Amino acid sequence: MSADLGDRPKPKPFDEWRDIYDVLEQVRQRPGMFVRNGSLDDLGLLFSGYGLALRIHGVDERFDFDPVGPFQQWLCWTRGWPMSLSWYQFIERNAGAVPPLEAFFQLLDEWRASVAAENSAAAETAS
C-alpha cells in the first residue's frame, strides 16, 4: 500500500457536489473513476453530458466548458488555438510530454487564477 494514500482527501458524496468544479475536483483526485487512461475525450464526453443535463433540467448554473464557452475562448486567446476543434482535442494534441489530463488541470488552474484576478480587478475598479 502506498504511503501517501492516507493524505488523499476523502471523496465527497454525490449529494454534496454543487457544480462542475466539484465534479472536476473528484476527477482530479480519482481520475480512473471518471476517465479511462486519462482520456480527455472521455472528460469531454462527461462535460457534454453534464451540460446537456443542465439544459434538459433547466438548471441555472454557469457552465464554462461548452465547445464555445469561456474556457475554450480563453485557450484560443492565450494559446492562439483556433476554435475549429474542442478544447480537449487541442489539449490532447498540444500536451507534449505532459499527460493530457495533467495538462488539462494545469490549464484549468491557470484559467481559474486569471478569472479570479479579473474579478478582483473589476471589484476594485467598481469600488
| pTM score, whole prediction | 0.83
The model's confidence at residue 8, banded by pLDDT at 50, 70 and 90, is low
Lowest mean per-residue pLDDT among 5-14, 18-27, 79-88: 5-14
Mean pLDDT of 49-61: 94
44 exposure class (CB count in 10 Å sphere: 0-12, 13-18, 19+): buried
Dump pLDDT digits (tens) for 91-120.
Answer: 999 989 999 999 999 999 999 999 989 888
Four-point Cα dihedral 17, 18, 20, 24, nearest 10: -40
Do residues 11 and 26 make contact, with C-beta atoms less than 8 angstroms apart? yes
- Is it the case that residue 59 has pLDDT exceeding 80? yes
